[in-house]
Amino acid sequence: MDKKEFLSLLQNQPIINSHSHHLPDNDHYQLTLKAVLTNSYVSWCATPLPSENSKEEIIAWLNAVRTRSYFVWLEKALMELYDIKENLNADNWDLYDNAISQGHQDKNWHIRLLREKCGYKAILLDTYWSPGEDNGHPDLFMPAYRINSLFFGYNQRAKDHNGNNIQLLYNRSISDIDEYINFINQVIWDKKQSGCTVLKCALAYDTSLDFGEASKYQAQKAMKEEPNAENIKRFQEYVFDCICKTAAELEMPIQVHTGLGLMKGSDAMQLQPLIDRNKHTTFLLMHGSYPWTGDIAGLTHVYSNVWADLCWLPVISPIAAHRLLHELIDVCDADRVIWGCDTWTSEESYGARLAFINVLTRVLSERVEDGLMSRHDARRYAKAVMHDNASRLLGI
């Protein structure tokens, strides 16, 4: 089986997508080229699209971003989905814009893209703007419950990076640590009852990921009048261990954002003490801990409760994803690797899927060619990462 044949096989393989921030229906109905680009990593992590679209500004912007991986895969997606032969430039900007607008005249177009073009059977959805939603499509989206606000409930004034505080969200005024832990356990239990299958921790945008062991007494200190940074850290450490225990009891895996974020202390290795203390909790370490991808390989090698979730990584850098996937095949069991798009629109999701399949095809073809893997095992591995592992984990 050559690379081309393998690629076409994977393109038709159904996928369970481990992570998405797909926007609510209303945001897709009037989608334009500008809106697709604004709600993409090209604008968010590279260079924001200029607010005025003079030809000169578009040219300058395209010159700045077009070699970035985020742009490359999004442009490929737009060209494929809307059957456009020319790369995006200032002269054909309206052609792209009209094609996108026309597509979304069909209000179901964004869902059809996910189901029919991307081949997603289920998608874990992180609606951080309103944690735990399924966007009104329970047959496609499975809600992940974002837990950041639980780490900021030491009083009613603190906020996570999305502006949330769990005490404020639930109109509570708790100042006793035992009562607080009972309260957040109840919140998690209720979320599980309402359909959330996993917890999502994006603390890498709030703080470093080094969570030591703290006592209840230390955690209580943060719940007094003016907590200092030390009190808050101990509180968050104590809360994280409590959440890990609850997650293990409820059989809810915890997705943890690793790499990038604040950069300071976002490398996955910072989580090693927490993982070591909580061996009954399943940790889905996301994004390959980029740029510290070796951390993921090392942690999956040592801890059987650690999974590698490759979401986002193939569009951050296909070369980094290529290297990590080779390492994971070497050191991690085949049943603990998954992938998700980590995008806001169907167009960018399709691009993320293209990047991922490209990496997966290259890595597995190289393995077969080098005599390290049989063709049968390569097909089985691809199916496991794209579908079967997440299916087993989530009970789909």
Interacting residues with Zn ion (CB under 5 A): 342
Our CB check for Zn ion shows the closer of 207 and 349 to be: 349
Identity of the residue, 295 or 342, whose beta carbon is nearer to Zn ion in the bound complex: 342
Q: Give the residue at shortest CB distance from Zn ion.
A: 342
Residue number with CB closer to Zn ion (75 or 342)? 342
| Residue keyed to tokens 């409820």 | 250
Q: Which is nearer to Zn ion, 181 or 341 (CB)?
A: 341
CA distances from 227 to 154, 160, 222, 287, 296 (A): 9, 16, 5, 32, 34
Closer by beta carbon to Zn ion, 237 or else 342? 342
Between 36 and 58, name the residue whose CB sits nearer to Zn ion.
36
Report the residue count for the chain: 396
- Measured CA to CA, the distance from residue 383 to residue 376 in angstroms comes to 11
Cα 132 to Cα 115: distance, rounded to the nearest angstrom: 21
Rounded CA gap, 240 and 151, in Å? Answer: 8
Q: Could you tell me the smallest distance in angstroms from the CB atom of residue 257 to Zn ion?
A: 7
78 or 256: CB nearest Zn ion: 256
Q: Which tokens hold the place of 386? A: 């794209």
> Could you tell me whether strands 254-257 and 198-201 are parallel, antiparallel, or unpaired per DSSP bridges?
parallel
Please say whether the beta carbons of 134 and 189 come within 8 A.
no
DSSP characters for 326-338?
Answer: HHHHHHS-GGGEE
Work out the angle between the directed axes of helices 177-193 and 229-249 (0-180°, nearest 10). Answer: 40
| Minimum distance, C-beta of residue 188 to Zn ion, in the bound complex (Å) | 20
Tell the smallest beta-carbon distance from residue 47 to Zn ion (Å). Answer: 20
> Shortest approach of Zn ion to residue 21 CB, angstroms?
6
Q: Specify the residue, 206 or 342, whose C-beta has the smaller distance to Zn ion.
A: 342
Closest CB 186 distance from Zn ion, rounded Å:
26
| Cis-peptide into 50, omega within 30 deg | no
377-380 long-range contacts, Cβ below 8 Å, gap at least 24?
A: 378/1, 378/6, 379/9, 380/334
CA angle, 97 as apex, 22 and 81 as ends, to 5°? 60
- Smallest distance from Zn ion to CB 126, Å: 6
Residue 327 or 342: which CB sits closer to Zn ion? Answer: 342
In the bound complex, what is the minimum distance in angstroms from residue 74's beta carbon to Zn ion? Answer: 16
Tell the smallest beta-carbon distance from residue 259 to Zn ion (Å).
12
- 286: nearest Cα among 271, 276, 274, 303: 271
Q: HSE of 66 in the Cβ direction (CA atoms, 13 Å)?
A: 10
| Shortest Å distance, C-beta 202 to Zn ion | 7
